[in-house]
């Protein structure tokens, strides 16, 4: 592996645009969740807590539903070459398992790890290079929500990911969207996602689910997966780095109603004393009793996921649900 990596950075993650999004988060008191993956420190904290709490890491049956989804996609795709595009790739562990399976089945694999965080993209690249040759890997940093021209950039030849020396062949694209949907308002991200899927593409999508027959009880059951020390420490990093102190208030987790008949776990920091946050020349005043939402995570059911995806033209052609009922993998097409 070379000691330098070539990473394409979309303007949606240029400093002036990141600053605009940060100011908006502070103004609206609703933190864009991308700010929890911004720094190397946050990336490391998230990867550590993911290692402990993610069912895909500590529940063999949950890992198996991904393997089944990967095998089904490999079965359906007949081309020799496959381009895996990992949207919100994180550390790239799931994408790399997919790439491994495809390679084992004799395919030539190409990989675009795509994430808002440069650190995550670099971690995903490193993980994938155990399977994918360096010349076939095209790291791409962008904000999937605010990048207006992704359709053009992530077209069949994926211009964002290629240059004169590195050309991605026009081949079948297998797009992954793992663990992403819980943290976005569906109506903001799903039109974007649907617009990136072309008629010959395949989409592997995973969602966190509420276990059991009773949706409300199921959401209550998974609350401890969020309300724990590692998650608190990871989420608080955003505020502490802006000069807030732990004793300025309290981080509270609760279940709230969202759109589409969905419920979500939300984390709010409630100020017990006044605090000012300064970003360059902008000053944000938080009074005692005020709060700022740091995070939310929607919980789906397989039926809700299918209905909501269908509303954006995405048809589920295969689904695998963990025995725990807490996670599902869906293979989708237009």
Ligand X SMILES: C[S@@+](CC[C@H](N)C(=O)[O-])C[C@H]1O[C@@H](n2cnc3c(N)ncnc32)[C@H](O)[C@@H]1O
Binding site for ligand X (CB under 6 A): 33-34, 37, 88-90, 94, 115-117, 120, 143-145, 178-180
Nearest-angstrom CA–CA distance, 253 and 7: 36
Cβ 42 to ligand X shortest distance, Å: 9
Burial of 75 (0-12, 13-18, 19+ CB in 10 A): exposed
Cβ 123 to ligand X shortest distance, Å: 9
Q: Are 47 and 124 in contact (CB under 8 A)?
A: no
Task: Tell me the chain's radius of gyration from C-alpha atoms.
Answer: 20
Cβ 201 to ligand X shortest distance, Å: 18
Q: Show Cβ contacts of residue 16 under 8 Å, excluding neighbours closer than 6 positions.
A: none
Nearest-angstrom CA–CA distance, 130 and 99: 10
Nearest-angstrom CA–CA distance, 190 and 181: 8
170: tokens are: 């026009």
Nearest-angstrom CA–CA distance, 286 and 242: 13
Cβ 297 to ligand X shortest distance, Å: 8
Q: Which is nearer to ligand X, 94 or 264 (CB)?
A: 94
Cβ 180 to ligand X shortest distance, Å: 6
Q: Show Cβ contacts of residue 6 under 8 Å, excluding neighbours closer than 6 positions.
A: 139, 166
Q: Which is nearer to ligand X, 85 or 249 (CB)?
A: 85
Nearest-angstrom CA–CA distance, 137 and 166: 9
* CA angle 192–259–178, rounded 5-degree value: 45
4: tokens are: 């330098």
Cβ 119 to ligand X shortest distance, Å: 9
Q: Which is nearer to ligand X, 182 or 218 (CB)?
A: 182
Q: Which is nearer to ligand X, 37 or 296 (CB)?
A: 37
- Chain residue whose CB lies nearest ligand X: 90
Cβ 227 to ligand X shortest distance, Å: 17
Q: Are 86 and 124 in contact (CB under 8 A)?
A: yes
Q: Which is nearer to ligand X, 206 or 249 (CB)?
A: 206
Q: Where are the alpha helices (DSSP H) in 77-149?
A: 93-104, 118-128
Q: Which is nearer to ligand X, 184 or 286 (CB)?
A: 184
Rounded to the nearest 5°, which phi and psi values hold at 145?
-85, -45
Q: Which is nearer to ligand X, 173 or 275 (CB)?
A: 173
Q: Which is nearer to ligand X, 248 or 266 (CB)?
A: 266
Cβ 305 to ligand X shortest distance, Å: 15
């Amino acid at each position: 592996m070379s000691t330098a990596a070539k990473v394409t950075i979309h303007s949606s993650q240029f400093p002036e645009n990141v600053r605009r999004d940060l100011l908006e988060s502070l103004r609206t008191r609703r933190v864009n969740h991308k700010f929890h993956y911004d720094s190397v420190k946050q990336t490391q904290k998230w990867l550590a807590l993911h290692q402990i709490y993610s069912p895909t890491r500590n529940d063999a049956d949950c890992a198996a539903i991904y393997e089944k989804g990967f095998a089904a996609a490999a079965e359906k795709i007949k081309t020799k070459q496959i381009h895996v595009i990992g949207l919100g790739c994180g550390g790239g562990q799931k994408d790399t398992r997919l790439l491994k399976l495809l390679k084992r089945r004799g395919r030539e694999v190409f990989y675009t790890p795509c994430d808002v965080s440069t650190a995550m993209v670099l971690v995903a690249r490193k993980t994938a290079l155990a399977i994918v040759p360096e010349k076939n890997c095209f790291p791409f940093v962008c904000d999937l929500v605010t990048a207006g021209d992704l359709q053009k950039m992530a077209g069949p030849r994926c211009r964002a990911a290629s240059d004169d020396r590195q050309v991605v062949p026009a081949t079948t694209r297998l797009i992954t969207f793992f663990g992403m949907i819980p943290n976005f308002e569906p109506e903001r991200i799903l039109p974007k996602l649907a617009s990136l899927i072309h008629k010959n593409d395949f989409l592997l999508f995973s969602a966190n689910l509420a276990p059991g027959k009773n949706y409300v009880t199921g959401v209550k059951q998974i609350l401890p997966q969020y309300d724990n020390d590692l998650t608190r420490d990871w989420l608080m990093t955003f505020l502490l780095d802006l000069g807030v102190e732990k004793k300025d208030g309290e981080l509270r987790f609760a279940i709230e109603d969202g759109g589409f008949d969905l419920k979500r776990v939300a984390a709010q920091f409630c100020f017990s004393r006044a605090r000012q946050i300064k970003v360059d020349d902008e000053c944000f005043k938080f009074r005692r009793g005020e709060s700022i939402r740091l995070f939310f995570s929607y919980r789906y059911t397989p039926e809700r996921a299918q209905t909501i995806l269908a509303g954006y033209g995405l048809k589920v052609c295969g689904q695998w649900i963990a025995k725990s009922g807490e996670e599902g993998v869906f293979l989708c097409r237009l």
